[in-house]
Each structure stands twice: as C-alpha cells, then as structure tokens.
Amino acid sequence: MSRLMEDVHPGPSRRARWIIVGVIGLLFLVPIAAMIEFTLRKGLGGGYDFSRWAAVFGGGLGNEYKPIFTGLGNSLLLAVVTVVVMLVLLVPTMVLVRIRFPKLQRVLEFVCLIPITIPAIVLVVGLAPVYSVIARMFGSGVWTLAFAYGVIVLPYAFRSIQTNLVAVDVVTLSEAARSLGAGWLTILFRVVVPNIRRGLLAASFISVAVVLGEFTIAALLNRVNLQTALVVVNKADPFVAVIFALLALVFAFVLLIAIGRIGGTPSGGGRRGRRGRRPLPTPSEKAVA
C-alpha cells in the first residue's frame, strides 16, 4: 500500500499552477483588453473617452441600433424556451433510464453526445427541411429556434445532470418512495429533482450561455438573435457592436462563476451544513464505546 502511495504523483507545484493559470488568463485577457481599448477610441484625432459606453447605458442610441435590442430580446426568449424544452425532455428520460432501463445508459449517452461532434453548419442542412414543416405548423417565429438549440445544448446539459445523477442512489430512493405509495411523478419531482438540483441549475446556465452565443443556425435559418443583430449593427457602428459583445462575454463569465459556486457548494447549506454534521468517531472512541 505504501509503495502505491509513493507512485502517485502529487501533481504540479503551487508555482506551476499559478504559471498555468496566468498563461491561460493572458490568452483571455489580451483580446478582451483590446476590445475595451477599441471601444474607447475617439476617432482619427486620437485620445479616449467613455461617450459610447455612456450612450449605451444612458439610452442615447438611435433607431439604427434597434436590431441589437430586438436580437437581445429574442435571445433571452430563446434561452428560456430552450431551457424548458431541455429540462422537460431530458431529465425524465435520464431518470427513467437510470431506474428502469440501465442497459440503455450507453445508448442515451451516445445519442446526447452526437451533436457536439457535428458542425453547426451541417446540422442546419439537416434541420432546414424540418423547419419548413415547423413553419407550416407553428409559424416562423424566432422561438421555434429553441427546438434546434435544444439539440446543440444536449451534450453540455447531459454531462451536468449525469454528474449529479451518478452521485445519487436514485434506484434506492425510488424504491423507498414506491414502497410508501408514491407515484412516478411524485418520485421525479419530490425525490429525484431535489437531489440533483445543482446539476439542473448548471445545465440551465450552460444552456443559456450557449444560446446567447449561437450564430450559425440563426443566420442560416434567417432568424434574428443577439449574434446576428451584432453583425448587422457592426456594418454601421463597429464600436457599439463590440460593446454589446463585451457585455455578452461578461454575462457568460458571470454564469460560469455561478456554475462554479453551485458545483462547489456542499449539500446541506455550506458552512451551516458542515457545522450541523456530527463528526465521525475516531478508532479510540470506538474502542472506548
């Protein structure tokens, strides 16, 4: 046993970890700093000011910038509908496969991970005939893009939920609930969902970030979202388009921080939950007992 422990590599040192984080941080910060510097330029005369930022937050933008707000509203609507579609279809399926059909877990995982291996432009080629039918049945509203976005967020949502689902003994919990007379809906909403809520929140946040950054499918299917609107406005005023791109990056960064906080919070309410737990007895205490 001691021999095995000696063979385990302790990993990079503290200094090496800080160097790795610093290099990766520079890769992200340099282009972001360049974008900020670009939005502060006054023009050919040189110098910097905050006039464009003041116009964005002060409501001083004209009608030519209306596509950005239209695209932002459409993207937020798509984010909400996509999250609802993803949770309604994916969560019950994963729970049912986990409890009743464990042999199909590999098949479900394979199906959910397929979209990440297919380029978005290839997906559009297959989705275009489908959307011609959807347009005849439900209209050509921008919300219909949620069906396509529900496909592209499957790999990320599946991994987030699966991580939490594996850590919970869903089979035992469901059998205990069934022995007490609970139905399947009660088991799903009152037993399983509370135990995997962190995975559900993480999947929802990742789905929102993916939807807000999607461009290819919306552009090729002639729908207006935030990214397509930024391309249109960029032709008239690239400075304002870069400002809104920066704001979208900040929002995605906040979502990633929220995911990290959710994933790092222990069950039972964090510090309060840790104080409420009784420590395990030591071997000497067991011997005395």
Helix (H, G, I), strand (E, B) or coil at 280: coil
User: Of 127, 88, 96, 71, whose CA–CA distance to 207 is shortest?
Assistant: 88
Q: Report whether pLDDT(284) > 70.
A: no
Calculate mean pLDDT across residues 112-139: 86
Residue type for position 135: A
User: Of 74, 80, 82, 68, whose CA–CA distance to 247 is shortest?
Assistant: 68
d(CA 270, CA 289) in angstroms, rounded, equals 31
Distances (CA, A) of 262 to 38, 198, 255, 283: 35, 6, 10, 34
* Domain-wise residue ranges, the chain: 2-49, 62-288
d(CA 6, CA 185) in angstroms, rounded, equals 50
Calculate mean pLDDT across residues 245-262: 79
DSSP secondary structure of 65-99: GHHHHHHHHHHHHHHHHHHHHHHHHHHHHHHHHHH
Q: Which residues neighbour 243 within 8 Å (Cβ) at sequence distance 6 or greater?
A: 39, 52, 53, 56
Q: Report whether pLDDT(283) > 50.
A: no
Confidence of residue 288 (pLDDT cuts 50, 70, 90): very low
d(CA 289, CA 285) in angstroms, rounded, equals 6
In CATH terms, 62-288 corresponds, of 1.10.3720.10, 3.40.50.300, 3.40.50.11390, 3.40.30.10, to 1.10.3720.10
pLDDT of residue 276: 44
d(CA 196, CA 168) in angstroms, rounded, equals 8
Q: Report whether pLDDT(287) > 50.
A: no
d(CA 52, CA 60) in angstroms, rounded, equals 9
Task: Provide the β-strand partners of residue 41.
Answer: 48
Q: How many CA atoms lie within 13 A of 83 on its CB side?
A: 18
pLDDT of residue 289: 47
d(CA 104, CA 98) in angstroms, rounded, equals 8
* pLDDT 10s digits, 200-227: 888 888 898 889 888 888 888 888 888 8
Calculate mean pLDDT across residues 70-96: 90
Task: Provide the β-strand partners of residue 279.
Answer: none
Helix/strand number for the chain, H first, E second: 17, 0
